[in-house]
Structure formats: structure tokens, C-alpha cells
Amino acid sequence: MHEKLNEFKQIMAEIADLNTAASVLGWDQQVNMPSGGTEARGNHLATLGKFTHELFTSEKVGKLLEELSSDASALGPDDAAMVRVAKRDYDKETRVPGEFIAEMAMVSAHAHEAWFEARAKSDFSIFRPNLEKIVEMTRQYVQFFPPADHPYDTLLDNFEPGMKTADVQAIFNALRPRQVQLIKKIAAAKQVNNAFLHKKYSEKKLWDFGVDVVTQYGYDWSRGRQDKAAHPFETTFSINDVRITTRFEKNNPIAMLFSTMHESGHAMYEQGVNIEYERTPLQRGASLAVHESQSRMWENLVGRSLPFWEHFYPRLKKIFPAQLDGVSLRNFYKGINKVEPSLIRVNADEATYNLHIMLRLELEIGMVEGRISVKDLPEIWNAKMQDYLGVVPPNDALGVLQDIHWSGGMIGYFSTYALGNLVSAQLWEKINKDIPDLDEQFRKGKFDSLLGWLRENVHRHGRKYDPQDLVQRVTGSKITAEPYVRYLTAKYSDIYGL
């Protein structure tokens, strides 16, 4: 058994190395690569994807997994979890031909560049043929698997293991009317003024301030770095090499700061995984929702909180005296938490953000079912924006082309953003019970207790536990909307005097 386990771990390490090589190429494509490199980069990723798939789905790996899982009781808890997770991944990947993996990598590489051009020119027609191919291949991918309760289940399970389409729809259907009710109450109240956020700010000074903030959070720069990208993201090459990106928007400069906070939340999760899981199937986070709970927690529950700014606002005001002249701490706090239906998901306030996600979920389900045609997406997108948020995008760049995810074939991903919001609030209630003086620590610029709690209860476990099991293990219940509704209601009742 020991020899078989060691052989299995060696193969898993080699697969992890191949996946990391692909991640490095993907990071470079979004950060450094000239547009002329698209064809070659597509070939690089396709070749790596094919070799990785063939190695992982080999007969040798299948036999090792069968033998190890048949006697799992002889394994330690970590090794048993590693085999269980790898077997689940293996059962999925053996259903998908290597040629399909390679083709999807090539199609996605071209789609990314087409999306970038289409977004820059605000012209969906440039991206449309690529997205049509991705949707076609996504439907083909679903056919490789046994029939599920809903075809979208197969896609959702790739990002949120064990979650069903019906589960997400039930959570969203219960949450939507309560969020809409809160938004209506806020709309009837006196609106806060955040004009000071849209003045001209120095990109370099905001960058430096963001670096200072996430350094105090606990992001380890000896194991990370930050670059610029069209769509901010975090990527992991190793537990000891976890990178983030951000972007600067002239019309919304402060968004750069919150983008840095957000991505650092993802990165600190990855930096906190048990080092023993390096180059194993357990190395990554439990799921996209659990991952998003970390980024949204550090961005919003910490970074948009009043205690946080009681510590940081004097410093920010000193850096930007002209922009923040006459703006009190309380008014700044209200300004960065202003609730106003907006066009861009990543810049949406906490009260309206989930509605952006619900819109995308409906579109994805419609495309998978064949009810929604890609050519009609801009029109349907705009109609749903009007219906959900009361705003209509003036062009494709601010509408259907704003997210990068579909260009990478990541259909099934979006609902995890909203689920992450819910998980963040569930964890937050537990954290505040365990660390009752958390606000006071933030006022002093101390975040080590929070990070330590997350390291112990969430980060170190990696993929050892399924997401719903991890959430229940930590909070006492599976994913629920109640804590998030309580959080939003309390926060915005204070800000808007509801």
C-alpha cells in the first residue's frame, strides 16, 4: 500500500507541475503577452492540456485509485481525502476525450483575444463567433456525462462540488425578494454623496496605498506579487507563489483599491493551505464559493467597514488632501458603501451585487438549455438589466462584454460569486463570536487574529472537505442566506437611517 501511495503521489505531483506551467502561460497571456502571440499561446496551452489529461486519465492512475480507494481505511485522513478528491476528478476527466480538452484550450485562447478586442471596441459581433463555439462545446461537454437533474448541474459541479442548479435557484429565489425590498427602502431614503470618489486620483498613489493595506492584512509579498490586467484575478503557481492583479479605472479610481483587497483575499487563502498539500489534489481552495467568501470578506466586511477606515482614513486623507477636503470619516464611509444600481458587476455595491449574478445565471442556464441564442445576448442582457436593476447599458462594453469568464469557457461559474457572499456572512457571524473585540483590533490596524482564525478554520484544509461540509463544520449549518440578509440589513439601516 505504501509503495502504491508514493507512486500515486509522484504522478499527482507531475500533473500539478503541468497544470502550473499552463497557469503561468495563462497569467502571462493576461499580463504581458503581445496580442500577436495568441496563436502560439493557444498551441502551448492545448499541448499542455492534452498531455496533462492523458497522464491523469491513464490506465495506471485509474488502477492506483481503484486499489487505494478500496482500502481507504488503511490511509491517514489527509491521504484518504487526497485519493477521494482525485478519484472524483478522475471519474470526470475520463469521460472527456483529450482531443476535446486540447480543442477547448485553443478555442479559449482565441476567444480571450477576441473578447479583449470586442470589449475595447464595444462591439459584441467580434466576440460572438467565439462565444457561439464555446457554448456549442459546453453543450457537447455536458453530453459526456450521465444525465443529471438539469444539464447545468454538470457545469456547476466543476466549480461548486455537490451543488445542484435547483439548490442555487432555491437560495436565490428566497434571497431576491428580500434584497429587492431592502433596495427599495434605500431608494426611498436620502441618498448619500460620493462625488469625491470620482475626482482625479493618482494611480501610483492608490496602488501604493493598496499595497500597504494588503501588507497589513497579511498578504506575503515574498510569496506573491501584483500586476495589472484588464480583468483582475488571482493565480496560484505554488503555495509559495500566489499572484494577484488589479486595474485602474479613470472614471472610478477608488475601485483599484478594493480590487487589490479582493484579490488579496483569494491569495491569502492559497498562501494559507497546508504546505503538505503542495503538488497534490488538495492544494487548491475547497470551491469557488468558499474562495469568493474570502475575497469578499477582505474587500467588503473588512475593507468597507467603519472600524477599518477609522484606522486607514487619516492616512488616505493625507495622501489625497485635495480630493478629500471637507469629507469626514463618516461621509467617506457612507460614500464607499453607497447603494445605487450600476452597470458593472465588479463595482456594484453589496446590496445590488447579487442581482448581477442572478442575471448571469439565468443567461447561462438559458444558453445551456438552448432557449437563449448567443446572437440575442446583448438585447436580452439589456432587458434583464432594466428589469433587475432599472439601468440599461449604453454599449456592449458596459453590458454583455464586461466579464472575461465566458471567453475562458467558464460557464457554470457565476453563481459562486453570490454564494461566496452568503458564506462570507456565515463565517463572519462565527468569527465575531470567537473574536468579540474584532472591531477594536481593526481600529488599531491589526488583522492577524482574523487571518489566524481563517488559517485555522478554512485555509489550511485546502480541498480536504467538500464546500458544504466545510461550511457546516465551521458554522454549524450548510450555506444559507440568513446571515447575509442580517448583515446587509444592519449595515444599510445604519448608513441610510432605515
From the candidates 113, 160, 234, 263, give the one annotated as an active-site residue.
263
Look up residue 345 and give its three cell numbers.
458587476
Q: Which residues pair with 228 in a beta bridge?
A: 246
Q: Report CA torsion sign: 62, 65, 67, 70.
A: negative
Q: What is the CA 24 to chain-centroid distance, rounded?
A: 18
Question: What distance in Å separates the CA atoms of residue 210 and residue 471, rounded to the nearest whole number?
Answer: 30
Angle CA 293–294–295, to nearest 5: 95
DSSP string, 306-334: HHHHHHHHHHHHHHSTTTTTT--HHHHHH
Query: Considering only CA atoms, which of 127, 62, 142 is closest in space to residue 94?
Result: 62
3-state secondary structure at position 144: coil
Residue with cell 447545468: 152
Q: What is the CA 170 to chain-centroid distance, rounded?
A: 21
Give, as one character, the DSSP assignment of residue 191. Answer: P
Q: Which amino acid is at 275?
A: I
The phi and psi torsions of 482 (rounded to 5 degrees) equal -55, -50
Question: Which residues, 6+ apart, have CB-to-CB distance to 418 below 8 Å?
Answer: 172, 175, 353, 354, 357, 358
Look up residue 288 and give its three cell numbers.
469557488
CA dihedral of 41, 45, 50, 55, whole degrees rounded to 10: 140
Question: What distance in Å separates the CA atoms of residue 346 and residue 340, rounded to the nearest whole number?
Answer: 13
Please check whether residue 492 is in contact with residue 312, taking contact to mean a CB–CB distance below 8 angstroms: no
C-alpha distances in Å from residue 448, one per residue of 46, 64, 162, 201, 399: 42, 42, 32, 30, 39
Give, as one character, the DSSP assignment of residue 298. Answer: I
Task: Give the CB-side neighbour count of residue 148, counting CA atoms within 13 A.
Answer: 19
Residue with cell 496551452: 45
Among this protein's residues, is 54 annotated catalytic?
Answer: no
Query: Considering only CA atoms, which of 414, 418, 415, 413 is closest in space to residue 481?
Result: 418
Active site residues per annotation = 263
